[in-house]
């Protein structure tokens, strides 16, 4: 199964995607109320693709742009005002589509060479 086909991701899987610890994912969930994983009956978190997209933004701002948590809060507040989240959703959808197509190409190349 291609990773882009998954509907929900466990905390550990999300941490692996972003190369951070599961506790970092849980911290960002507490810190940013826009991340809303579904909780199973036994309390385990399941993150949707929309949650992943929001975490991707937070990860980018903190790890790549070097923003503080407070800086990210301000950034998100300002972006909500001007409606840029719709643009970010389109960008994230395009990134997922690209990742999916790269994986398909790899599978096709592998099958072609076998």
Mean pLDDT, all residues of the chain: 85
Q: Give the tens place of pLDDT for each residue, 85-97.
A: 666 667 767 877 8
pLDDT at 98: 87
pLDDT at 94: 80
Domains of the chain, start order: 3-113 (1.10.1660.10)
pTM of the complete model: 0.68
Q: Give the tens place of pLDDT for each residue, 23-32.
A: 999 999 999 9
In the predicted structure, residue 55 carries a pLDDT above the cut 70: yes
Instruction: Quickly count: other Cβ atoms within 10 Å of residue 78's Cβ.
Output: 10
d(CA 96, CA 74): 26
């Amino acid at each position: 199964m291609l990773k882009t086909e998954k509907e929900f991701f466990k905390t550990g899987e999300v941490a692996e995607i972003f190369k951070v610890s599961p506790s970092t994912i849980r911290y960002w969930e507490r810190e940013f109320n826009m991340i809303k994983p579904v909780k199973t009956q036994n309390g385990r978190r399941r993150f949707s693709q929309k949650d992943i997209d929001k975490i991707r933004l937070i990860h980018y701002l903190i790890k790549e742009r070097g923003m503080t948590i407070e800086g990210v809060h301000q950034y998100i507040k300002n972006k909500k005002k001007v409606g840029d989240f719709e643009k970010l959703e389109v960008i994230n959808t395009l990134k997922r589509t690209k990742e999916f197509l790269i994986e398909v190409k790899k599978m096709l190349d592998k099958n072609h060479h076998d």
